[in-house]
A and B are shown apart, each in its own frame.
Chain A
Amino acid sequence: MLALFLRDIRLSIRAGGGALTGVIFFLAVIATIPFGVGPDLKLLSRIGPAILWIGALLSCLLGLDRLFQADREDGSLDLLVLGNDRHMLALTVLVKCLAHWAGSVLPLVVAAPLLGLFMNMEPLAIGATALTLLVGTPAITFIGAAGAAVAVALPRGGLLISVLVLPLTIPVLIFGVSASYGATANPDPFLQPFLILAALTLFLAVLGPVSAALALRHGTD
């Protein structure tokens, strides 16, 4: 299992991997917002956490279609499915999700504080947003794995995955953003939405890989 994790991390770093694509897309989205919204610094800092979250969410969805498709194209997926007796397929999917998160999504979380400066956010708001992203983005990957497994056989499944997955990520977005606001806006709570966000991630860490494994088992042809 560690071998699978390391292999997927290596693949995301080497040429053709998705590690940089997401970060650059994230940068592009956030950098254009101030030009579109205008030079109202107060407005920018107010919408900052929400924009960072939406940008990170869209960047997460960008690389998801390759999660299983690359393995399917070179035949590895068949062997991962066949290994079900040694390594439960749901566990294999979970490890692939974790590797995908560490390889492609963690760079987004790391880049988020820097991009927060573009949005004129206070240090506390930047810290809170980065923390909620760190806790919340794995949930997006886990839901995305289920979508990627359903669309694995489709040649251009990327858009379909986004359409399938986006409605399911809305709760994650809502609680992520409200926790980020809770850290700065005084009467709003921080801890409650943050704990619900953590619970969502844990819940989807089970549900996502199990449903993805089910879809993969029945998707081999």
Chain B
Amino acid sequence: MRLIAENLGGERGGESVFSGIGFALDQGQALVVTGPNGAGKSTLLRIIAGLLPKAEGGLLLEGGGEAFPSIASACHYLGHQNAMKTALSVAENLRFWREFDGSGDVGVEEALETVGLGGIGHLPFGYLSTGQRRRAAIAKLLVSHRPLWLLDEPTAGLDKASEARFAGLMRRHLGDGGIVVAATHLPLGIEGAKALRMGEAG
């Protein structure tokens, strides 16, 4: 599997935010997108996922096979919001996404253990702190399998220990032949990741 972007350009409200972005990622490779606020990191991720139309250039996922015919079907998109319902319990939320996205190898309880939230699955999502909510959203990446992870500020609100644990999860995902594209301000702790610096300052 290979994710290729060529001469990609994005715009917001008719104004060009970035242009001429190109990269190619093989299985097991990660791309860390950095840049000042407003450089278009989130826009780039949303364009890759197909949530925003691209202004120019091309995007291609090669070798997805029948299971993953398009980028949208092959990706987990973790945006600024956690896509969880505050009125439902953490486990109910995860169980819903697991069934809707297609089950993976990892169960809900096991995924919660992995992100360090074991034993609180019965609590309503609304009772959780910001960092715990983010960890529950990360558990969502685990309960159903997608080769491509698109992460927008994934570590926002996480403490040091959780950051390290999340870095471990990403390394394991890359080791299993996954692809990670992450927009971030903070170092994510992935060795050998490609770097893309956006904005004039770079």
Residues of chain A touching chain B, judged by Cβ–Cβ distance below 8 Å, are 1-4, 6-7, 10-11, 14-17, 73-76, 78-79, 81-87, 220-221
Contacts and interface: CB of A to CB of B under 8 A. Distances in A.
A14 B88 contact: yes
B73 interface: yes
A11 B85 contact: yes
B96 A3 contact: yes
Given A3-B96, A11-B87, A78-B83, A85 B73 contact: yes
A14 B99 CA distance: 21
Given A78-B77, A79-B77, A221-B52, A86 B101 contact: yes
A15 to B, nearest CB: 6
B163 to A, nearest CB: 21
B177 to A, nearest CB: 20
Contacts of A78: 49, 51, 77, 79, 83
Interface of B: 46, 49-52, 69-70, 72-73, 75, 77, 79-88, 92, 95-97, 99-102
Contacts of B101: 79, 83, 86
A84 B100 CA distance: 11
Contacts of B80: 75
A221 B47 CA distance: 10
Q: Which of B75, B82, B96 has the most CB of A within 10 A?
A: B96
A74 B96 CA distance: 15
A80 to B, nearest CB: 8
Contacts of A16: 87
A73 B72 CA distance: 20
Question: Chain B contact residues: over half helix, strand or loop, or mixed?
Answer: loop
Nearest to B74: A85
17 contacts: A3-B99, A10-B87, A10-B92, A11-B87, A15-B87, A75-B81, A75-B82, A76-B83, A78-B77, A79-B97, A81-B51, A82-B75, A84-B72, A85-B70, A86-B73, A220-B46, A220-B52
B81 A73 contact: yes
A85 B81 CA distance: 22
Contact of B84 (A74, A85, A220): A74
B87 A14 contact: yes
Given A2-B99, A17-B87, 12 more contacts: A1-B100, A3-B96, A7-B92, A75-B81, A78-B79, A82-B51, A82-B73, A83-B100, A85-B70, A85-B72, A220-B46, A220-B51
Contacts of A79: 77, 83, 97, 101
B190 to A, nearest CB: 24
A17 B46 CA distance: 30
- 7 A-B pairs closest in CB distance: A75-B81, A3-B99, A85-B73, A75-B83, A14-B87, A76-B83, A220-B51
A74 B83 contact: yes
A16 B83 CA distance: 17
Nearest to B81: A75
A79 B97 CA distance: 9
A82 B50 contact: yes
B69 A85 contact: yes
A7 B88 contact: yes
Q: Which of A7, A15, A17 has the most CB of B within 10 A?
A: A7
